[in-house]
Amino acid sequence: MSRVLSIQSHVVFGYVGGKAAVFPLQCLGYDVDVVNTVNFSNHSGYGRFGGTRTTATELSEIFQGLERNELLLPDRLLTGYIPGAEGLQVVADLVTKLKSERPNLIYLLDPVMGDAGRLYVAPDVIPVYRRMLPLSTIITPNWFEVETLTDVKLTDIPSLRRAFHILHQQYGVPNVVISSIPLAPWLRSKLPASIISTLNDDPADYLLCISSSASTNATDTANLLESAVHAQIVPLLPGYFSGVGDLFSALLLAHFNPKDAEGVSRAASQALSKTHAMLQLTHTHAETLPEDERTQTDDEKDGLDPLRKVKRMRGRELRLVQGQDILRGTELKEFREMVPWTGFWEAE
């Protein structure tokens, strides 16, 4: 079996960052080496939290301790939220070193920078992530992070093609997986027929997951790349859940088989299916809570009573422990397979 080095945030209460990623990886049989980039009481979505960020110096002391003791032995590497360019650079240096020593290292890079048009890291983090992209095996940016990394505003299929092209060829990223994409009309209309046939009239009811895998020699050629694109949709569940992307990335890395040419889309099918089942479980639980723990987001009311938001967040923490059989796959009822998006690269 295999060993994962996970470098991301730690919260005492709830399931984001490492708390959302490590347990699933362990359930799936991986030894996980866990580096905490922050130690917070809870995720920032609660509005208030206590704790400290791990400094760049502390990170490099931990990495040096591992190196001196020859304990840097991962087959797979997972990086998530790392606050600040200085700390990220320390991680980038480690990844460069690991890649040179362990050429078969599978690196899933989640460039956690922001969401929904809002950056929640320092802007000087962006160039560091751009330099790290060529080291990755798979990246899992969200919609906003794709735009931030590529400087392409995603408004239509051509712009999406351009973004993939930049990531695959300019930055040499072999695989890109974007989960939880709002199903804009321009996306909906171009989807594979097998997906469209399952849609009802309101695209707002769905989230789209896309994977794009460059042909192995794609990064050698300067010509226009035509990557293998797969897609699938899941029903959108009401309200916001935290840690979903962290769980998805962990499952994607856990299920990825590098010997399988379709490895990324197959792993994405597993990650999509299990993540959605976990959200369903969490949503169903949240519905059973007292009314004041399932309020709607309302910035004004939330502002007047900080605990209003806190209670809502608390009730929507992922049910990872209760749903551990979903993670193991023994309790997975619905399988959502990523389907080839033939024609994605064909001009209109």
* Residues of this chain that bind a copy of itself (CB under 8 A): 1, 10, 12-14, 19, 23, 26-27, 29-36, 39-42, 46, 48-52, 54, 58, 61-66, 68-71, 307, 310-311, 314, 320-322, 324
What are the angstrom distances between the C-alpha of 72 and each of 8, 35, 106, 202? 16, 12, 14, 49
Helix (H) or strand (E) holding 119: strand 118-119
What are the angstrom distances between the C-alpha of 18 and each of 34, 57, 81, 130, 319? 8, 20, 9, 23, 15
At its nearest, how many Å lie between a copy of itself and the CB of residue 20?
Answer: 12
- Closer residue to a copy of itself (CB): 49 or 345: 49
What are the angstrom distances between the C-alpha of 138 and each of 112, 166, 248, 326, 343? 14, 15, 13, 23, 23
Residue 246 is a catalytic residue: yes
At its nearest, how many Å lie between a copy of itself and the CB of residue 10?
Answer: 7
- Closer residue to a copy of itself (CB): 17 or 263: 17
At its nearest, how many Å lie between a copy of itself and the CB of residue 238?
Answer: 23
Contact of 213 with 173, CB cutoff 8 Å: no
Q: Helix (H, G, I), strand (E, B), or coil: what is residue 32?
A: strand
At its nearest, how many Å lie between a copy of itself and the CB of residue 307?
Answer: 7
Determine if residue 346 is left, alpha or beta; phi over 0 gives left, psi from -120 to 50 gives alpha, anything else beta.
beta
At its nearest, how many Å lie between a copy of itself and the CB of residue 23?
Answer: 5
At its nearest, how many Å lie between a copy of itself and the CB of residue 246?
Answer: 15
- Closer residue to a copy of itself (CB): 66 or 199: 66
At its nearest, how many Å lie between a copy of itself and the CB of residue 14?
Answer: 8
- Closer residue to a copy of itself (CB): 28 or 178: 28
Neighbours of 99 (CB within 10 A): 17
Cα dihedral sign for 89, 148, 220, 103?
positive
> What CA–CA distance (Å, rounded) separates 272 from 179?
8
Strand order in the sheet with 106-109: 51-53, 31-40, 3-11, 76-79, 106-109, 138-139, 175-182, 206-213, 228-235, 339-340
- Closer residue to a copy of itself (CB): 21 or 113: 21
Q: Which DSSP letter does residue 84 get?
A: S
- Closer residue to a copy of itself (CB): 220 or 292: 292
Helix (H) or strand (E) holding 300: helix 299-304
Catalytic, out of 33, 115, 201, 246: 246
- Closer residue to a copy of itself (CB): 20 or 233: 20
Residue that has been written with the tokens 């460069």 in this structure: 96
Question: Which tokens hold the place of 83?
Answer: 């606050």
Active centre residues (catalytic): 246
